[in-house]
Every structure is written in structure tokens, then in C-alpha cells.
Amino acid sequence: MEQHTYLVVMAGGIGSRFWPFSRTHHPKQFHDVLGLGRSMLQLTVDRFRGICPPENVFVVTNRDYTELVHQHLPELPIDQILGEPIGRNTAPCIAYASYRIAQRDPEAVIVVTPADHAVMHEENFRDAIRTAVDGARTHNVLITLGIQPSRPDTGYGYIQFIDEVVQPQHVQTAPGHEDGVFPQTLRKVKTFTEKPNLELAKMFVSSGDFLWNSGLFVWRADAIIHAFHQYLSDIAEVFDEGWNELGTSQEEDFISRAYTRCRNISIDYGVMEKADNVYVLPADFGWSDLGTWDSLHRMGQHDADENVVDGNALLYDTSECVIKTPPERLVVVQGLEGYIVAEYDNVLLICKRTEEQRVKEFVADVKSKKGVGYN
């Protein structure tokens, strides 16, 4: 059934929390963030080998980045790079890709992933994805992957699940799969909670029935389109009207019009928090959302003093820092503890790791006081 499994990579964000490395003209998904010789986008597509064939891979990005995507994934046909005229959050992005795929293959099962995740244990990851794909193929459910939390992190959303196995008796079995087995590892979702404060995050982790929200989704094309009709009917109406234009020479003009009619809304808020057929697959495969400098410090290779260094650097009396600088520039650091030292494209950032939430503030100030060339 691999020929009916599709991958949608969401790769349109700017990633401003990773500034100055991630910039408007060259966002983080096009960088080798982990120092592995592959960009985040390339690593994302790489880890799905064996899950779906290359001809079933789609990337949704801003039209400004279409050529960048093609440079990083030259084997990807240009018509599998879906360009958004403007950013409208994840719901319109997913609607665009889902309608496009459904038109091509009514039996499609779609895996949706951001382009900026890191995964340490890729075989465990693929096993989890296959389990979710099997559940989505045989039942009309919307599945998200939940990560076993290792700490009370306030930077992630949380998913509360019902501990016992709840078979989807109220959920229709997919046509042609009446004898399909519902995976025992899937759990019914009870609640979604956006980034909590520290006290609440500690309660979530200690309770044992909360998972980190990974932003990874698995569902059949017809199941998610039905959910759009039920919970985001305004967006469904837009794409219903353009059904015959998708996959044709009129697609680009249609999408330009469509996005002006789509509101800015996430799939979590628009669908997942409202639907009654949402299930979560608890998983543990060394996952991180590489959205911040602190996440890079957690995922990166540490030296004896807990520094993560990617660059030509000499460190003295320095510990628990992130150093990411151009290889052609020698950087000497002395006496820092818990700092970010990051240089890219004529911008140098030196910031306490505990203050990294201010990076967006820095970017806003730079734009207003120094001009757009630095953001």
C-alpha cells in the first residue's frame, strides 16, 4: 500500500526565533543546522525513505522559496512543490496539499510534517509512522504523534490522552477495510493545551497522561477533507470551488485568489481541538522541534564543558554555550557561561541562553531601526 502513502512537508516558515541564522531570504529549513552536511529540509525528506515513494512527496512553501526547495531537492518534480502566495498558518497549507493529493489519489493516506524537526532514532520514527499510517488507512481517524516528555518544557504544546484503549466504535471503518485492525498503541485524545507555564508543565509531566504535541499528523485525504467541511467550512468551500483548477495550468492563479479568502488559522485550533475522531500515538524517537537556539543546545554534540560548537572556534573558561559561526572566521571566546554566540550573513548575536525568548524582540527592533536587510 506504499503507493497510496504521501508525504507533505511544510517548509514555508521564516523561523525568526533562530535569527540571525534563519533569515527571511534564507530560513532555517534550508540550513545545515545540526552540522551533518544536510539541510533540515533534506533530512526531513530523507527520514521518510521506505515510507512513501519519491513521486508521492510534496513540499508546501512560500513562493519566494520555490527555487530554494528545488535546489535542495533537485530530484523533486517542480509540480510537487506547492507555492503559497502568502503565509496563512497550517490549516490553509494542509488544505491545499490535501485537496491536491486527493484529486490525484482518492485512496491517499497523508503524513504531514514540519521541515524543522530533528529525530535521533530514525528506525523508531519510521516504525511509529507506519503504525499511524496503518490506523489511518483502515479507520476514519485523525492521528497525531505525541512525544513522551522528558522534562516540563514550556515551549511545547501538550496532548492529554485517555489511558485505556478506546476503540473508535463511533468512527466509520474505511471502505474496503472493514476487517482492518485498529492499532492498540493509539490513544483517544482528551484535550490539547498550548504552551503552559512551568507549574502547569510540571503537573502535566508528573501525571503521566500528557504528551508533547509534535505537529506530525497522519490521516486519509478524504478524512481530513471531511474534517475541513465540518470544522473549517469556509476554507473547504474555497478549495471545493477550485477543484478542477488544481493540477492544471490555472492552479497558480486559483491559489493566489484562494489565499486571499482563507483566514490565518492553525490546523490544531481549527480542526484537531474540535474533532471527536482524534487519536494520538505515543512515541519516543529522540525528537526535538529545532525552533530555538536552546533546542539546538539540547540536540547538538557537547564538548567536555557542555558547549555545542559549529564553527572555527577556540574556547577558554567557557561552558554551556552555543557557538555557531562561519567556518572562514576564527572565533575566540573566553569567560562565557550559558550564552548564544551566532554569526551569519553580516549579523552577530551574543545573548544569554535564558533570554533567547527575546530574539523575536531583537528582530523587530533591527527591522525598525536598522532596516529590512538584517531580518
Indicate the pLDDT class of residue 114, thresholds 50, 70 and 90: very high
* Weakest-pLDDT range from 102-116, 163-177, 309-323: 163-177
Largest CA distance in the chain: 66
Residue 292 to residue 359: CA distance in whole angstroms: 9
Q: Which three cell numbers stand for residue 335?
A: 569567560
Q: What is the pLDDT of residues 337-356, one digit of tens each?
A: 999 999 998 999 999 998 98
The b/e string for 85-118 (b: 16+ C-beta within 10 A; e otherwise) is: eeebbbbbbbbbbbbbbbeeeebbbbbbbbbbbb
Read off the pLDDT band of 246 (50, 70, 90). very high
Answer whether residue 274 shows pLDDT above 70: yes
Percentage of residues in the chain having pLDDT higher than 70:
95
Look at residue 180 and tell me whether its pLDDT is greater than 80. Answer: no
Does residue 375 register a pLDDT over 70? yes
Q: Are 76 and 70 in contact (CB under 8 A)?
A: yes
Report the percentage of the chain scoring pLDDT > 90. Answer: 67
The arithmetic mean of pLDDT across residues 185-190, rounded, is 89
Please count the other Cβ atoms lying within 10 Å of the Cβ belonging to residue 153.
Answer: 21
| Confidence at residue 35, expressed as pLDDT on a 0 to 100 scale | 81
Rounded CA separation 279/132 (Å): 10
User: Which tens digit of pLDDT belongs to each residue from 216-241?
Assistant: 999 999 999 999 999 999 999 999 99
CB under 8 Å to 202, separation ≥6 — which residues?
A: 152
Q: Distance between the two ends of the chain, CA-based, in angstroms?
A: 44
| DSSP string for 184-250 | TT-EEEEEEE-S--HHHHHHHHHHS-EEEEEEEEEEEHHHHHHHHHHH-HHHHHHHHHTGGGTTSTT
pLDDT at residue number 95: 98
The pLDDT tens digits for 329-339 are 999 999 999 99
Residue 171 confidence (pLDDT): 57
pTM for this entry: 0.91
Starting at the edge strand that comes first in sequence, how are the strands of the sheet with 339-344 ordered? 308-310, 322-324, 339-344, 347-352
pLDDT at 50 over 80: yes
Strand, helix or coil at 44?
Answer: helix
